[in-house]
Every structure is written in C-alpha cells, then in structure tokens.
Amino acid sequence: MTPDDLLAPLDLAFWNIESPEHPMHLGALGVFSAPSPSAGAHAADLLAARAAAVPGLRMRIRDVWQPIGFGGAVREPDPGFDPQDHVRLHPPAADFQAEAGRLMERPLERGRPPWEAHVLPAQQGDRFAVLFKFHHALADGLRALTLAAAVLDPMDLPAPRPRPAEPPRALLPDVRRLPGLLRGALSDVSRALDIGASVAVHTLARQSTTALTAAPTGTRRTAGVVLDLDDVHRVRKVVGGTVNDVLIAVVAGALRRWLDERGDGSEGVAPRALIPVSKRRPRTAHPQGNRLSGYLVRLPVDDPDPLGRLAAVRAAMDRNKDAGPNRGAGAVALLADHVPALGHRLGGPLAGQAARLWFDILVTSVPLPSFGLKLGGNPVTEVYPYAPLARGQSLAVAVSTYRGRVHYGLVADAQAVPDLDRFARALSEEVETLITACGS
C-alpha cells in the first residue's frame, strides 16, 4: 500500500458520516422502453456480465490501521467479487418510484464493492427500470455516470485527452520543493480559515425551517417530475441568467406552494440550499475520488412574486460565482482536506450531525450525456437522479437534463414528508407560473 492508494479526504468523510438511518449512496433510476416482458431479465443478465469487466466496480473499501494512513481507508480490488451479489432482478413492479424509495432506504454492504443495480420490470411488460446505487465514497456524480455507462450498451465517444504522467509520490517531500510547499500550505490554511469563519457566520445566522428538518427515521420515499426543457429556456430567454438559475427558482416556488398547501405557511421562510459544484473536468480528471465544492443560496420562498424569486436566485448565484467555488460557507467540503484520517473516523458522526446547522436542503445538478442511452438495445426514456439525505433533513432534490427533458429526482424522509407527491406536483405548477409571469 502507498499513499496514493488511500481514499481522498472527502471520500473518507462520506465513508465515516454514514449511519444506518442515513446511508451515503447516490442513486439514479433509469426507465427503459421494452419490446417484451422478458426484456428486464435480459437486462439483468447483461448488467451482471458487463460488471465483471469493469475494474471500478470490483473495488471495495477497506479500513486501514497501518502507520501509512492510520485511521483511513483504501480502495482495492475485491478478490471475491461476484457481480451476482450486486445485480438483482425483482418481481414486476406497479410503481417504479415506490420501489425505488424502498430500495434507497437500504445501506450498501460495506464489506464488498459498495454499489448495486436493481432491475424492476413493469407489470405491463412494456417497460423496465434500473435503479443504480453508488456509495458517495466510491463515486461522485460524474464518476457514477461513468461507472453506469460502462455497463450500458457501448457508445462511440471521443477519446479522452491524455493526462501527463505524474511521478510516484514519495513519503517525504523533496527538500528543494519545501519553500513552494510551505507557501502552498500557508495558502491552504488561510483558505481553510476563511471558509471556517464563513461557515460559522452563516450557521449563527441560520433560520430553521421545520418542514425541511426531521429526526432521522431511516425511511425513504422518492418521486420524479419531468419538465420540458423548452419551457425552461422560454423563461430564461425572457429574464436572463442560466438554466440552472431557473431550475433552482422552480424549487423555491414549489416549496412556497407546498408549504402553504400543507398549512405550514411560507411567510418568513428562506431556507439555505446547498448547491454542490463539481471541480472535476469530465474528460481529463483522475477517475477516482470526489471533487466537490459548493455554493450556499438562501431560497426566497417567502417572496410572493415568481419573477422576484428568480431574480433573487440569479443574484445569489452570481455572487457565489464571483467569489468562486473555493471560498465561502458553501465550500465547506474543501475543509475535509485539512482533517487527518483519524480525525475523519472519530469526528464522522459529529460531522453528520452538523449538516442540519449548515444547510436546510440539498439541490444538486447531475450531468447526463445528450445522446441516447440504451441497455440491450432498449432506449432510456426517463432518468431520475437521487441524492443522499443528510442527517436531520427531510428532503433532497437532484435534477438532470436528458434529451430535451428536465428530470427532478426527489428523496424524502417518508415519515416527515408523507406528501412528497404534492411537492412534485408543485414543481410542475411552478414552471407554468413562471411562463405566465413572463408573458410567454
């Protein structure tokens, strides 16, 4: 084992903050059209056969108690890897989302490669779905997409640009590089202090939104919403900003509608949303390890004007972009780099508890390719991404665009949010409200 085999600090943080009630896996539910009821079983066979040939799917995570990386963990090939332990064919399902919620509750087994693929045939026989689950310590969104694509039908993609070879990392730095290393370390410490101070200030100023926080129950419910990307562009062209600005504002408006309908009320409600930012370059970055920072945005749920909500979201996102992903309270994930391995292991439970003090809701964007995905020749028609649910929080929102459609994937604590379908409906209604407000 060498230092390069060790989990990156943020990966280690995700590995250690997990609990039975708050599993730290990502999910994606792909829905495929199918020519016959047997297509689901054939898809399960294909997934198992192809998984055996994907090195990244053979990697388990093992805790380390050796002098190098004491208290950390490593990725290593599992000598007993059997894809049949990870690919499961289920009986026909009447509701893909209901089955996905049940399956998202279950933590991944930590003694073997932490991923699963669940194949769900439809009762009508004309469709099937596949729920992929990847532990966040194994993959971030882009890496999970790469691993999932490796077991789907082959695609003709441009060759990745070569990365310059890096010399092996020594256990001790070259003394000739010490002045530069010292300057870099001081810069890193300064940045860490800046982020830490910003986190403290924003935590003290945080207003609790009880509808979005809950005691952990370990239950999960999922829902999906499909919007027309052209509708989102119609709004963007009128008011400016980005597609992502509009999609975040849709969440803010849907929260307002949902809170008012369920009787909680939206007056004075401005929850903090964590917007993860990938620092990975899709075709050039090292394939393993999380490369994440984030922005914090206060969602203007209490603003009755839909265009006012969108303007507030756009302004907040512009301020975050001007500051960059390396500074501000949203960049707290970068602090993981400054914590030793043993600190992650001992402090993981406390870090998990702290999430509810830092943000109220996660709103993340998951990139998907623009070309069509297939499995066994069966095309993907819908893709719903799912994000982990942090301790003490009751709702997480993930969004992706695929072939002219926007897919919102919602994960909620099933006991705290029994009316998740109502919130899903509010997302669709908010888009119509924005279109009307824009005069389109």
pLDDT in tens, 78-130: 999 999 999 999 999 999 999 999 999 999 999 999 999 999 999 998 999 99
As a whole number of angstroms, the distance between CA 75 and CA 73 comes to: 7
Q: Name the DSSP class of 58.
A: G
236 and 42 in contact (C-beta within 8 Å)?
A: no
pLDDT, position 210: 60
Mean pLDDT along residues 157-167: 49
**pTM of this structure:** 0.82
pLDDT, position 359: 82
pLDDT, position 58: 96
Q: Which residues pair with 395 in a beta bridge?
A: 412
Tell me the C-alpha to C-alpha distance, in Å, between residue 64 and each of 141, 265, 400, 420. 26, 49, 36, 41
Length of the chain: 440
Supply φ then ψ for residue 99, to 5 degrees. Answer: -70, -40
23 and 107 in contact (C-beta within 8 Å)?
A: yes
pLDDT, position 191: 42
As a whole number of angstroms, the distance between CA 238 and CA 324 comes to: 26
As a whole number of angstroms, the distance between CA 105 and CA 253 comes to: 28
As a whole number of angstroms, the distance between CA 272 and CA 208 comes to: 9
As a whole number of angstroms, the distance between CA 44 and CA 131 comes to: 11
Q: Which residues pair with 223 in a beta bridge?
A: 410
Question: Residue 188 — pLDDT band, cuts 50, 70, 90?
Answer: very low
Question: Residue 218 — pLDDT band, cuts 50, 70, 90?
Answer: confident
Reduced to 3 DSSP states, what percent helix, strand and coil does the chain have, rounded to the nearest 5?
Answer: 40, 20, 35
Q: Pairing mode, if any, of strands 361-365 and 395-402?
A: parallel
pLDDT, position 293: 66
Q: Is 23 exposed, middle or buried (0-12, 13-18, 19+ CB in 10 A)?
A: buried
Q: What pLDDT, in 10s, does the model give residues 352-382?
A: 455 555 688 999 988 788 788 999 999 999 9
As a whole number of angstroms, the distance between CA 179 and CA 157 comes to: 43
276 and 244 in contact (C-beta within 8 Å)?
A: no
Here the tokens at position 234 are 């119609």
Q: Name the DSSP class of 149.
A: H
Q: Is 192 exposed, middle or buried (0-12, 13-18, 19+ CB in 10 A)?
A: middle
User: Is 393's pLDDT higher than 90?
Assistant: no
CA 298 to chain centre: 19
pLDDT, position 215: 74
